[in-house]
Amino acid sequence: MAQPLFKFFVFCFVFVEPISLITLFAGLTEGATVAYQKHMAGKAAVIALGIRILFAIAGAKILEVMAISLSSFRIAGGSAQARGHFGSSS
């Protein structure tokens, strides 16, 4: 049980790249008070958790309604990730 959970968190950490998002967050909250920065960080974490829970519960149904197979979704996700990491030629 622990190994698949560990793999999931490692994958999420690599895919989301939280280290690179630090500079984005710092830029967006530049000049703001520390209290405001903490509030926005907490709000972002709650929203992200809500989206993750929504798709964990209803993700398969959402894909089914849009007539997208899980295999197609995986291929598109891998393509988007590769494009993001390696850039695009266009």
Spatial separation of the C-alpha atoms in residues 88 and 53, rounded to whole Å = 31
pLDDT (0 to 100) of residue 54: 92
Amino acid at 39: H
pLDDT digits (tens, 9 = 90+) for 5-51: 787 777 777 767 777 888 888 898 999 999 999 999 999 889 988 99
**pTM, whole model, 2 decimals?**
0.62
Q: What is the mean pLDDT of the chain?
A: 84
Q: What pLDDT does 10 receive?
A: 77
Cα–Cα separations (whole angstroms), residue 82 to 70, 79, 85: 18, 5, 5
Q: Give the pLDDT band (50/70/90) at residue 85.
A: low
Distances from the Cα of 29 to the Cα of 5, 7, 19, 67, 68, angstroms: 33, 32, 16, 39, 37
